[in-house]
Amino acid sequence: MIDQLFEFVQNHPLLVGAFLLVLTAWIAYEVRNSAASGVTSSEATQLINREDAVVLDTREAGDFKAGHIAGARNIPQSRIDERLGELDKVKEKPIIVVCKSGQSSGVTVAKLAKAGFPRALKLKGGMMQWQADGLPVVKK
């Protein structure tokens, strides 16, 4: 198997080089986006306590009811465009966007920023990280 891999690399250097270039670009993109406008669980807790930050949970209703951050508002990501008006009253407050694992909340943060929400941030690691850090969740 390893012999076949080496043979493939020797026979197709341009293809392997292109693959490595795309892989490097993708990794750099993911690293840059994971660091951009995100907060850790402890930073989110400080924003909630000190600046009355709004927690926006973008998971579906079933996941939200199974466990969410206290005081969080649930607007599923699939309905964020039509329900954006619900957040107009809190436009100047920090808005912490939460999803399951921190991967899809960036899309919502971008939509909020485009709609004029200057302090939209995503929770790094999402609810999985929040629970892994041993922070409390509310079940409805």
Q: Which two tokens stand for residue 9?
A: 């690399």
Among residues 53, 54, 55, 99, which one is catalytic?
99
Sequence-separated (6 or more) residues with CB below 8 Å from residue 42 = 133
Q: Which of 126, 56, 68, 69 is nearest to 95 (CA)?
A: 56
Q: Where are the beta strands (DSSP E) in the chain?
A: 38-39, 54-57, 73-74, 95-98, 120-123
- 140 vs 127: CA distance, rounded Å: 16
* 99 has catalytic annotation: yes
Point out the residues that are catalytic: 99
